[in-house]
């Protein structure tokens, strides 16, 4: 990759971490720009006009082009590498797990983490408070589905460590911060340890 790679991020976000983890596994250097999402720094007119009209991080800047959405950014970095299966079906299966992560996993597990560990339960609106139980149940369902898959498979797709594992690891390993008890999902815990043991692994606070 010849163009400069800049990650617009809030470092403690799992969505930002998964891009750094992908880059670390590929030996790619990312320049990092931090925004304080608690202060609305991604909602300024300048950010909306230049970085992303969606007003959220992460955004991967490649040269002078901007790519929002964490999993798209991970895909961009990993395209053509050992992190994506060579087989066409397995590659699509990798993408399937990444889509599932964004629809079934992240909106529940990451949101509860954000509400509880970052905002604080006493700061939640009535609407957010009313959603706590439903998000907990949906997050538990997601962890149960992972548990069933990982009871029979070491990895999510293609029989090897891949991008789907990275994208799912990002918020699963901090699910405890959202109130989930990971010891209830032993196959998930064993998989988290396998991911963390991969050469090139970096932690969320690195
Ligand atoms: N689907 C998006 C989600 C992005 C997202 O929700 N970003 C959050 C932090 S993880 C954010 O920027 N929040 C600040 C805000 O909405 O103002 C992705 O995967 O990148």
Top mutation candidate among 33, 41, 57 for ligand 1, by most atoms within 8 Å of CB: 57
Cβ–ligand 1 contact at 158 (below 6 Å): no
Classify burial at 60, counting beta carbons within 10 Å of its beta carbon; exposed 0-12, middle 13-18, buried 19 or more: buried
Q: In sequence order, what are the residues at sequence separation of 6 or more whose Cβ sits closer than 8 angstroms to the Cβ of residue 39?
A: none
What is the average pLDDT value for the chain, to the nearest integer? 98
Q: What is the pLDDT of residue 54?
A: 98
For atom 5 of ligand 1, the residue with the nearest CA is: 56
- What is the tens place of the pLDDT at every residue in 37-54? 999 999 999 999 999 999
Cβ–ligand 1 contact at 111 (below 6 Å): no
DSSP 34: E
- What is the tens place of the pLDDT at every residue in 173-197? 999 999 999 999 999 999 999 999 9
Cβ–ligand 1 contact at 15 (below 6 Å): yes
- What is the tens place of the pLDDT at every residue in 61-91? 999 999 999 999 999 999 999 999 999 999 9
């Amino acid at each position: 990759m010849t163009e400069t790679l800049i990650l617009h991020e809030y470092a403690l976000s799992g969505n930002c971490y998964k891009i750094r983890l992908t880059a670390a596994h590929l030996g790619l250097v990312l320049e990092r720009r931090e925004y304080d999402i608690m202060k609305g720094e991604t909602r300024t007119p300048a950010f909306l006009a230049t970085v992303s009209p969606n007003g959220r991080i992460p955004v991967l800047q490649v040269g002078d082009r901007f790519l929002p959405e964490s999993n798209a950014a991970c895909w961009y970095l990993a395209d053509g590498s050992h992190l994506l299966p060579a087989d066409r079906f397995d590659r699509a299966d990798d993408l399937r797990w990444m889509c599932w992560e964004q629809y079934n996993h992240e909106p529940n597990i990451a949101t509860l983490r954000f509400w509880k560990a970052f905002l604080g339960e006493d700061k939640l609106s009535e609407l957010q408070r009313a959603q706590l139980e439903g998000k907990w149940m949906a997050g538990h369902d997601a962890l149960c589905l992972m548990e069933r898959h990982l009871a029979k498979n070491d990895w999510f797709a293609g029989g090897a460590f891949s991008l789907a594992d990275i994208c799912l690891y990002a918020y699963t390993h901090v699910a405890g911060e959202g109130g989930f008890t990971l010891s209830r999902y032993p196959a998930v815990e064993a998989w988290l340890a396998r991911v963390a043991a991969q050469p090139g692994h970096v932690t969320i606070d690195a």
